[in-house]
């Protein structure tokens, strides 16, 4: 599957929001930018290099909130697979909110209850739709013999936290409440999310833990967006986060989602997984990230905290890989190893 993130990759935070970042943090970021940085392309895995060079050389102009319609229109929808069937549905939304559109994908009738996957798409909290990952979800349903629910949650900044989280949690509760009619084994429900979808998956898992209504057997976080402080309060090495998703784009995405500047001293509880004090009680978790990904440090740090909290954790770090590498170059050796790693965890969780 090849998915274009063309416009998404060049989102830039407006000057007004940057001005709200604390002075000390801004100085650290500026000093980091002035350092003699290694050429990030020199660190890229050879099979990923042509795509990385293309992304860096494309040179799209900075974009703002006013450009969001064009950014969103830049996504490409891969053609659907012949099977399994995709059924469009709307389910009850959070209290006082609109119904939530979903795609329901099932391999078909089975004498046994099937495992189930809640899929949450990426897009920096501000872009992407469920339909852009429909073919991917069809492949999951076919490969794992699973019922897949692909959620078309509301985007920020139009709907800031907690709206997007509540939309996805509503889909999770709907799956559990209708497990029998959907042919779902309620003991084998997993969540998968990539990038912003990975961050939202972590938020939904925390909500499920706290509410105690839906047990999860696994969460798969694919280069997840977990910490609003990355690139705002916390500078990153200058060679990291240059390909696929940058610190500037990260500030824009988080600021849109939080309704306040990324890296603010206080954020609403449950809105930033990396700021959650207690991670105990989360389900087994897979986290995968590349060494050149902006999220490398925050994902590794989150994995350490999960381990310390007693959560079964599998951290997979891919050398020379940047954000979204497995989507752009799926046939590369490192992409195949990365995908095989999270699929193996999911297969184990499903007992298959």
pLDDT tens-place string over residues 186-245:
999 999 999 999 999 999 999 999 999 999 999 999 999 999 999 999 999 999 999 999
What does DSSP say about strands 147-151 and 184-194: parallel, antiparallel, or unpaired?
Answer: unpaired
Higher pLDDT, 1 or 295: 295
Reported as a pLDDT band with limits 50, 70 and 90, residue 63 is low
Please name which of 185, 156, 152 lies closest in space to residue 171, comparing C-alpha atoms: 152
Token digits for 206? Answer: 């925390």
Token digits for 245? Answer: 């998703």
pLDDT at position 6 over 80: no
- For the residues 45-51, what does the mean pLDDT come to? 98
Name the fold adopted by 8-12+43-350: Rossmann fold (3.40.50)
Give every CB contact of residue 86 below 8 A, 6+ residues apart in sequence. Answer: 80, 103, 104, 105, 134, 138
How many CA atoms lie within 13 Å of 305's alpha carbon, on the beta-carbon side? 16
Question: What is the reported pLDDT for 22?
Answer: 38
In whole angstroms, what separates CA 98 from the centre of its chain? 23
- pTM across the whole model: 0.89
Average pLDDT value for the chain? 90
Count the Cβ atoms, other than its own, within 10 Å of residue 46. 10
In the chain, % of residues over pLDDT 70: 88
- For the residues 252-273, what does the mean pLDDT come to? 97
- For the residues 171-184, what does the mean pLDDT come to? 98
Q: Which residue has the tokens 């000057």?
A: 15
Question: What is the reported pLDDT for 34?
Answer: 47
Question: What is the reported pLDDT for 58?
Answer: 82
Give every CB contact of residue 38 below 8 A, 6+ residues apart in sequence. Answer: 238, 239
Question: What is the reported pLDDT for 57?
Answer: 87
- For the residues 177-193, what does the mean pLDDT come to? 98
How many CA atoms lie within 13 Å of 352's alpha carbon, on the beta-carbon side? 13
What does DSSP say about strands 218-222 and 285-290: parallel, antiparallel, or unpaired?
Answer: parallel
Give every CB contact of residue 345 below 8 A, 6+ residues apart in sequence. Answer: 218, 220, 284, 286, 314
pLDDT in tens, 99-118: 999 999 999 889 999 999 99
What does DSSP say about strands 184-194 and 100-105: parallel, antiparallel, or unpaired?
Answer: unpaired
pLDDT at position 21 over 50: no
Higher pLDDT, 84 or 29: 84
Domain ranges of the chain: 8-12+43-350
Answer positive or negative: Cα dihedral of 292, 297, 299, 304. Answer: positive
As a whole number of angstroms, the distance between CA 149 and CA 138 comes to 10
């Amino acid at each position: 599957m090849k998915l274009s993130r063309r416009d998404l990759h060049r989102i830039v935070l407006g000057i007004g929001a940057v001005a709200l970042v604390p002075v000390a943090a801004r100085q650290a970021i500026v000093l980091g930018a002035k350092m003699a940085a290694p050429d990030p392309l020199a660190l890229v895995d050879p099979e990923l290099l042509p795509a990385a060079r293309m992304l860096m050389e494309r040179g799209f102009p900075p974009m703002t909130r006013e450009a969001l319609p064009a950014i969103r229109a830049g996504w490409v929808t891969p053609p659907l697979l012949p099977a399994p069937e995709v059924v469009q549905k709307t389910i009850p939304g959070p209290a006082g909110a609109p119904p939530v559109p979903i795609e329901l994908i099932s391999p078909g009738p089975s004498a046994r209850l099937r495992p189930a996957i809640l899929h949450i798409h990426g897009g920096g909290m501000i872009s992407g739709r469920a339909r852009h990952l429909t073919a991917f979800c069809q492949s999951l349903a076919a490969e794992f013999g699973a019922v897949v629910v692909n959620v078309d949650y509301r985007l920020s900044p139009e709907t800031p936290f907690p709206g997007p989280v509540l939309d996805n949690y509503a889909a999770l509760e709907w799956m559990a409440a209708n497990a029998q009619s959907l042919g779902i084994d309620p003991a084998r429900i997993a969540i998968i999310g990539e990038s912003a979808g990975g961050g939202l998956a972590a938020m939904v898992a925390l909500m499920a833990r706290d509410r105690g209504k839906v047990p999860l057997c696994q969460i798969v976080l694919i280069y997840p967006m977990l910490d609003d402080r990355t690139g705002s309060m916390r500078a990153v090495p200058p060679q990291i986060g240059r390909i696929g998703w940058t610190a500037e784009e990260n500030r824009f995405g988080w600021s849109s989602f939080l309704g306040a500047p990324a890296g603010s001293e206080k954020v609403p509880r449950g809105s930033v997984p990396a700021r959650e004090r207690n991670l105990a009680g989360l389900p087994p978790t897979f986290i995968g990230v590349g060494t050149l990904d902006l999220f490398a440090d925050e994902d590794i740090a989150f994995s350490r905290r999960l381990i310390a909290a007693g959560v079964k954790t599998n951290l997979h770090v891919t050398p020379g890989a940047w954000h979204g590498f497995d989507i752009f170059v799926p046939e590369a050796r490192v992409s195949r190893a990365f995908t095989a790693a999270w699929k193996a965890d999911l297969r184990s969780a499903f007992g298959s």
